[in-house]
Structure 1
Amino acid sequence: MSLPSPDKSGTTSLEAIARNGSILRRMAVRIPTYLKDMRENPAWLPMFVLARTMPGRQLHWRGAKPAYPVRGAHKTIFTGVDRDAVVAGLRSEGLFSGLALPASIHEEIASFAQRTPCFGNFDRRLEFLPSGHKEAEAHFGRPLLSGHFFERVLDCDAALAVQRDPLLLDIAAHYLGGQAKMITTRVWWSFPSGGVSDAEKNLASLGKYHFDLDDWRMLKFFFYLVPVDDGTGPHVYVRGSHKRRILKHQLTLLVGHPADEVLSVYGEQSPVTLTGEAGLGFVEDPFGFHMGTVPTRAPRLMMEVGFGVSPPSRRRFDGEPVVR
């Protein structure tokens, strides 16, 4: 494919400002989206204010509806998965690793992701084929740490098979409550890139512990679509951080915090680094602290299927639609 011409406007993406600007500027660029969210769903504001606090979360968890077995849950592409063991691991650690995609599924998604153009750094102006990553960086004149497919993932039948697998909903319902629903799907690359600043790492959600605050209760399934070792940017999760939080981290508007600050609370032994072969899957409560590390040797290709309990938002804060 031919690459689009570099953007000379100097316009800074909303995502970049929201992650890298001053606190006041980061709040300011989000205001239009916040106002739309409040108009469409008045319940969004209490969630945004209170879901970061432990009392608010504990109160909301009490409203979880009973979960019943999902119809057809046995018709799953996964083998040897005990739903109750997964849920028990999530309640205890916030994380369960041990899911495995069939080879035919993860190979088909990886093939799709190799031949389909992606968008660099969440920006639709930065479109390129993953195999041409280095050439795209030179063409656009900037590091490209990530490549997202946005709604193009819906053109991949294997990705849809994962998204719609009844076992995922069954696990989500028994952890989150009977209100659980699928709220987002994405496939993306994380690339090695030289000369990357801390701000650019933050833009790609790499190298800094953070927690997600998109709903009162959430669950995210992740799948590696290529082999991932220490040089491929493995995902890291801080075990137990989903169920306790110091007051400072409850009252701040920021969701990202330095590693030394996080580990001083939860202990040096609390992080688990997830490495494994293509097809490895794990599920986490994303209110726990986690991060993607920066690939140094080879790009990482990953899929995410997220579940929540509230009506899903129609947009990300950077203006991109949420893919469901």
Structure 2
Amino acid sequence: MLDAPKSQPQDLETIARSGGVLRRMAARIPTYLTDVRENPVWLPMFLLARTMPFRKAHWLTAKPVRSSAGATPSMFGNLQAKAIATELRRTGIFVGLTLPAPIQEEIARFGHETPCFGNFERRLEFLAGEHASAERRFGRTILSGHHFERVLQCDAAIAVQRDPLLLDVARHYLGGEAKLITTRTWWSFPAKSASESDLSRASFKFHFDLDDWRMLKFFFYLSDVDADAGPHVYVRGSHNRRRLKHQLTLLVGHPADEVLSFYGEDSAITLTGKAGTGFVEDPFGFHRGTLAKQSPRLMMEVGFGVSKPSKRRYHGEPTIR
């Protein structure tokens, strides 16, 4: 099972929030402009979905879930989608998923044997086992390594994204129009030193995702994750209440002390567990990654939404010109 001790603010948060906000926003402008050109309805979503009145209004448009004619077996056993959706509405997170060992092992093998791209940059290509030499070769601190579209070469990863329980949970929570948006795998690597730019890109600040009006994300640890391996942190209940200050800003990331003082330190859980453990969350709730201190972490995400997905780039990758 997932161990969920209370989370505490860390010194890295102070580093990540110091300066650079305008620079980071300016760097994202080309990506935002491409989003608008590709899908004009993206702009009102980006501006309004962060506010609770408009967000709640959009939830009222959710289509009812059609009853399934027959239950399709799931690799996750007899978990009930409706019960999971109920827990998600209450806390924003459900922590009872476990990948079958053969599936976990196959995806982990893929993660080790397939080159990844460091810090979302395709020119920084290397195998996870060569992380230290890659940092020396590129002269860069590398905190993450994403596989981007290569994950689609992994049959076990495809089996997870197609598992009927995931879509069933998504439809019970998001509405009948819920659809698969993205599947990704990535490494988080330990680093002896990291710049402010590295830390801000790695999402060490508490933040919420704003890629759609309504979203749901399943996460699976593909390696053992303890307190020193970069565990994920989620603030329970923050998905359905939002401080006014956090609604009336274009920034999605906020300092830990500011977030926890409003939503409560007891609401934050740090998710650790053995390889194969997983959870599902509403990513509009505040969450964050933590810095891997000793061991690298391999993780998988399967995301669902209700709007047209972008096929132009993969998660975190800058606009391709």
TM more than 0.5: yes
Could you say which residue in structure 1 is the equivalent of 2:259? 262
Residue 113 of structure 1: CA displacement? 0.7
Q: 2:226 aligns with which of 206, 210, 229?
A: 229
Pairs within 5 Å for 1:199-218: 199-205=197-203, 207-218=204-215
Q: Deviations over 1:23-59 (max 9, x none)?
A: 4443433333333322332211110110000001001
Distance 1:121 1:72, change over 3 A: farther
- The question of 1:306 aligning with 2:303 is answered yes
Report Cα offsets for 1:250-297 as digits up to 9, x if no partner. Answer: 011111111000001111101011111111010000000001111111
Q: Does 1:319 align with 2:318?
A: yes
**CA distance, structure 2, for counterparts of residue 71 and residue 180 of structure 1:** 18
Deviations 1:203-253 (A, max 9, x none): 122x21110000000000000001111111110000000000011100111
Matched, 1:26 2:24: yes
Higher relative contact order (CA 8 A, sep 6+): 2
- SS class of match (2:266): coil
Cα distance between partner residues in 1 of 2:193 and 2:129: 20
Aligned equivalents of 1:102, 1:224: Cα separation in 2: 12
Identity of matched residues, %: 67
CA RMSD of aligned residues (A): 1.8
Is the Cα contact below 8 Å between 1:73 and 1:170 reproduced in 2? no
Choose the corresponding residue for 2:57, options 56, 59, 66. 59
What is the CA–CA distance in structure 1 between the aligned matches of 2:22 and 2:31, rounded to whole Å?
15
The 5 Å alignment of 1:72-111 reads 73-111=71-109
Instruction: Assess if the C-alpha contact under 8 Å between 1:148 and 1:187 holds in 2.
Output: yes
Q: Which runs of 5+ in 1 are unaligned?
A: 1-18
With over 3 angstroms needed to count, the CA separation of the structure-2 counterparts of 1:104 and 1:71, relative to structure 1, is: farther
1: CA distance between counterparts of 2:160 and 2:171?
17
Amino acid across the alignment from 2:152: L
2:292 is equivalent to residue 286 of structure 1: no
Shift of 1:83: 1.2
Within 1, Cα distance between the matches of 2:156 and 2:317? 27
SS in 2 for 1:269: helix
> Partner residue of 1:118?
116
Equivalences, count:
302
| Cα contact 2:31–2:319 (8 A) shared by 1 | no
Q: What letter is aligned with 2:72?
A: H
**1:21 to partner: Cα distance:** 7.6
Contact kept, 8 Å, 2:30 with 2:319, in 1: the verdict is no
Label 1:70 to 1:307 Cα distance change in 2 as closer, same or farther (>3 A). farther
CA distances 1:79-118 after superposition (whole Å, capped 9, x unpaired): 1312122111100000000011000000000011111111
Superposition deviation, residue 163 in structure 1 = 1.0
Give, as a single letter, the amino acid of the residue that structure 1 aligns with 2:201. L
Question: 1:192 is matched with which residue: 171, 190, 193?
Answer: 190
Q: Name the CA shift for 1:20/1:131 in 2 (closer, same or farther; >3 Å).
A: farther
Q: What letter matches 1:134 in structure 2?
A: A
Q: Which moved more, 1:63-72 or 1:162-171?
A: 63-72
Give the secondary-structure state (helix, strand or coil) at the position aligned to 2:265.
Answer: coil
Distance 1:271 1:198 in 2: 24
Change in Cα spacing, 1:79 to 1:135, as seen in structure 2 (3 Å) is: same
Q: For the Cα contact (< 8 Å) 2:222–2:298, is it kept in 1? A: yes
Q: What is the aligned partner in structure 2 of residue 248 from structure 1?
A: 245
Shift of 1:124: 0.6
Distance 1:69 1:299, change over 3 A: farther
Is the CA contact (8 Å cut-off) linking 1:70 and 1:170 kept in structure 2? no
Shift of residue 304, structure 1, vs aligned partner: 0.1
Task: Measure, in 2, the Cα distance between the counterparts of 1:21 and 1:149.
Answer: 30
The answer to whether the 8 A contact 2:45-2:212 is kept is: yes
